[in-house]
Structures are given as C-alpha cells and as structure tokens.
Amino acid sequence: MEKTTDRPKLSPESVLLMRLGAVGLLGLLMLIPLAFVGGLVDDRGDRYQGVLRDMASTWGQDQVLQGPLLVVPYVDAHRQIETVVDEGGVPHKVPTVTYLARRAVFLPDALDLEMDLQEERRYRGIYESLVYTADITMTGRFGTLDVAALSDHLERVEWSKAIWVMGLSDTGAIAEIRPLEWAGHQAELAPGARITDVLPSGFHAPLPGLSGEPDAYEFSIDMTLRGSGGVRFAPTAKNTDVTIRSPWPHPSFQGSPKQRSIDESGFEASWTVPHLTRNYPQQWTLEQEQHDLSEGLAGVDLFEPVALYDKVGRAVRYGLLFVFLTFLIFVLFELVAGVRMHFMQYGLVGLALCLFYVTLLALAEHTSFATGYLAAAAAVVGMISLYTGAALRSLRRAGLVGVLLAGLYAVLYSILRMEDYALLAGAGLLLSATAALMFATRNLGGGKGVEAR
C-alpha cells in the first residue's frame, strides 16, 4: 500500500498575507535604485552649486557693507623720570619721553542707506544663476571728533592723515562709484580699507582738510554694486536707517525689519537700528581695543523658492511611497481579477518608477521643472499601463492603472509646488495610502476571533 502524506493547506488569508509580505520585501529592495537616484541628484546639485560659486566669483558674491568709519591718527607722549648712572657711578634723574602712534576710530551719529536691487539671470551652459545689481545711496553725519577723550597723554592729532573708510566684502564687484561728498567738498576714493584688523576689505578717502573744529560733518556717496545671494549692512551709527527695495517677490529677511511689504511686484523693507543693540562703542583707539563690526548684521537674501535640485530631491524622497502604492494597486487587481503577476513583473514596474526621477532630472535641466515632470510622468505612466495591460490581459485594467498613476503623479506635483503646506499634504497622502491598505486587508482574519461575552 502506497504511503501518502497530506500537507496542510494554507488558508486564502495566509496566502494573501505571504504574497503581501513578498511584494513588500520587493518594494523595500527598490530602496537600492532609489538611493542611486538620490546620489545622482545630489551630485548634479553639487555641480550646480559649484557653477554658482564660480559665477559669483566673476559677477559678485554676497555683499556686506560695514561702516563708514573715520580714522584719525594721533600721537601719545608718555613722560617719565628715569634714573641714569654716569661713568663716575653717580645717579642722575633724567626726564624721558616715549612717543606712541595711535589711531582713533569714530563711528557716525546718523547713517541713512537707500538700496534698490535689480535681479538678473546669468547663464552658463544649462545652469542659471540669480544675481543682482544694487544702486546704493548713503548719507550720514559724524559728530564732534573728540580725540582727547581717548587719551590722557595726547601730544598731537595728525588731522592731515585722517581717512574716511568703508568696508565692503567684495570690492571687485563695484560697477560704478562716485567721489565722496564730504562737508561740501569732493574727496577722491582710494583702494583698500587701510585698517585690515577691523575691515579686511573696502576702500577709503583721504581727508586732508579735516580740522576737528566743526561740531558735525555731513557726507554722502553713491555707488552701484554687483552681487549674488543677498546684501547685508552693519548698524555702525548711533541711529542706522536702511531701506531696501526690489522687484523680486521672494525676499528672505535677515534681522527684523521695522516695516515690510511684499507682493507680486516685489518688496520694500526698512530697518531702524539704534546703537544700543550692539556691543561696541562709538569711538575707540585701534591699538588698544578690538571690536567686531560684523556683529548684528541685517539685510535681505533674494530667495529662490524650492530650486530645481531641491524639488527633484524632494520627489525622490516620495519614491518608496509611490512604489508601495503602485504595488498595492497590482495586489488589489490580483484579488479582484484572480490573476497573478510574476515577481519579475513587479520588479520591472518598480524599476520604471525609479527611472521616472532620472528622466525628470535630465529633462528639467534642459527645459523647466513643470515640462520635465509632465514628460517624465507621461512616459512612465504610459509604459507601466501598457505593460500592465499585457500582464493582466485587460485593456480596461491597464487604463485604470494609468488613471490611478496619473492621479498619484498629479498629487506629488501639487506637494512639490507647495512651500508652507508640503508637509501637511505629504502627511495626508500617507494617511490616505494607509487607509486604503487597511480597507483592502480588512477581511484577512475572516472575522473568526473569539467573541467577548
């Protein structure tokens, strides 16, 4: 008599659960190509940032304005009595004088800055950079120059060597500048800040006619600068008033403007900064004190909302969710239609979903993000729909898969366009996907649990 062994039959629920587990594991394997795609996006983004830095080095970098300052040299005389022993061994008291060269630094009592930023696009190959040209009008006033208040041993003040100094981070990006108007006269500008321990770069103007007799000195200067990224100013005056205007509608303010207005036609912001907000005085001696004038910088950046590589990178982060949602659709079709897709077919569909991001990146670099997204989504949706129709032997199901995938890509595009509500929309998509999965698996247990009495 032939011996037979009966293998226990698995319930339909167990078979479905095992298939869901296998499909889920296959979905997790899609993390490998998604990681390669993410690395490709990061690499292209790094290359883009390198091109931006190179373009900024030729056009102009972030501009930081510090000053102006008045630097007035003076001489201290330290007198003392020294005991000197002569050749005969007799001590004598001899008066000696030590002269020390000093530089007094004075900050303005009032400073008004008016800046008009005009944005431009610069191109290099397939890359573009947002830059600006800034028309700046600076007016202000220095009060009494009391050098004697800085020294108890003042010998003389060298007014003829006094200079007006302006700190500027990228002097190579000066497009145009007019002579300094100082106390009703013009003063020619010269390169270099001359006080590199305080201001590493900038320019200055000699003031040979300075005497220290008036109570106030008015000045003004107009300049045109090129730059990229943003512009900053240091609140060096007792009262610093700054107004910045631009037709760029996406500013990112640094420091809190007193007033601001932003609309589609651009922005305007103004700052009023008193000297009490900083930790350095109105005047000091350069050889005796060191102060950081970059403290309390304020200004604005010309912010580009969600740049290309940021958008593609964010899209890749939703890649695994798209793979699982697509696989879930196929599992539901298997349940309804009673047909099985091979795991190789699942893998090819997942690979096509990963290739969407590579196609998007390649097209968007040469066209625009919207055009690249539409073309890449159309190609992937069409390819997967035709493949699904052949695998499931149904054009109707292929059309339904195409509609569902197109809906998913439409939702993703909406999320990527959002700035303030992107996280909220992404959370909503995850909740919706979880709810769909819970609905599809609601009868896995067959309702055979023990009823509570």
pLDDT at 242: 94
Mean pLDDT computed over 271-299:
88
Label residue 172 by pLDDT band (50, 70, 90). Answer: confident
Number of H helices, E strands in the chain: 8, 19
What are the residue boundaries of the structural domains of the chain, listed by start? 12-49+308-440, 61-302
Mean pLDDT computed over 62-81:
88
pLDDT at 125 over 80: no
Q: Which of 86-90, 97-101, 258-262 has the highest mean pLDDT?
A: 258-262
pLDDT at 338 over 70: no
Higher confidence at residue 21 or residue 280? 280
pLDDT at 297 over 70: yes
Mean pLDDT value across the chain = 82
Give the whole-angstrom CA distance, residue 446 versus residue 169: 73
Element (H, E) at 437: helix 422-440
Report yes or no: 109 and 292 within 8 Å, Cβ to Cβ.
no
pLDDT at 139 over 70: yes
Give the whole-angstrom CA distance, residue 59 versus residue 224: 13
pLDDT at 38: 85
Report yes or no: 169 and 183 within 8 Å, Cβ to Cβ.
no
pLDDT at 4 over 60: no
Token pair in block for residue 154: 């003042």
Reported as half-sphere exposure (CB side, CA atoms, 13 A), residue 374 has a value of: 4
Label residue 191 by pLDDT band (50, 70, 90). Answer: very high
Q: Which of 19-23, 104-108, 438-442 has the highest mean pLDDT?
A: 104-108
CA-nearest of 300, 262, 291 to 113 is 300
pLDDT at 452: 41
Give the whole-angstrom CA distance, residue 126 versus residue 44: 12
CB neighbourhood size of 175 (10 A)? 12
